[in-house]
Amino acid sequence: MDQLELPITLEPMQKFPNVRDLVVDRSEMFEHLKRVHAWIELDGSYDLGPGPRMSQDDVAERYSYSRCMTCGCCLEACPQYGDGNYIGPQAIAQVRYQNMHPSGKMTRDARLEAIMGEDGITACGNAQNCVRACPMSIPLTKAIYEENRETVVHGLFGWLKR
């Protein structure tokens, strides 16, 4: 962990619109979650099949993404995030979280396509500030690496499924 610098300055986050004093409006994070379809369909319109089996490694990795509390610290620390240039590591980690799930895979392509635009995953500069800032120790750079790979494969071969 980085050394604590003293004195500690208390100020509002810079990457979100300030509402008042230390209060910021983080609603764009929730808009990003909608954009990447950060949920699993359970409304009966998909054949879910038998209960999915997952490896313990995948369960452990998914658990770490499930701990995101949408605090925005990773976005605050990310040099690429701001002014709508980049969707940011939090939403990408949720793409990984849902795409790893056997039921989530049914809508995997929609999630990948949501992060394939100019402001998507390729806008990441790999500074790795995000993973250091996350208070929940979420492996954000692992998620970015894996989803980058998935989007490249989807870009090259996704049309074969159509």
Contact positions vs ligand SF4 (CB under 6 A): 68-74, 78, 80, 89-90, 93, 124-130, 133-134, 136, 138, 140-141, 144
Closest CB to ligand SF4 among residues 122, 158: 122
Minimum CB distance to ligand SF4, residue 136 (Å)? 4
Other Cβ atoms within 10 Å of 17 Cβ, number: 11
Closest CB to ligand SF4 among residues 80, 99: 80
Minimum CB distance to ligand SF4, residue 129 (Å)? 4
H-helix or E-strand containing 21? none
Burial state string for 48-81 with b = 16 or more CB within 10 A and e = fewer than 16:
eeeeeeeeeeeeebbebbeebeebbbbbbbbebb
Minimum CB distance to ligand SF4, residue 161 (Å)? 28
The 3-state DSSP class for residue 114 equals helix
Minimum CB distance to ligand SF4, residue 72 (Å)? 5
Burial class (CB in 10 A: 0-12, 13-18, 19+), 142: middle
H-helix or E-strand containing 23? strand 23-24
Minimum CB distance to ligand SF4, residue 53 (Å)? 27
CA distance 113 to 154: 8
Closest CB to ligand SF4 among residues 100, 133: 133
Closest CB to ligand SF4 among residues 18, 70: 70
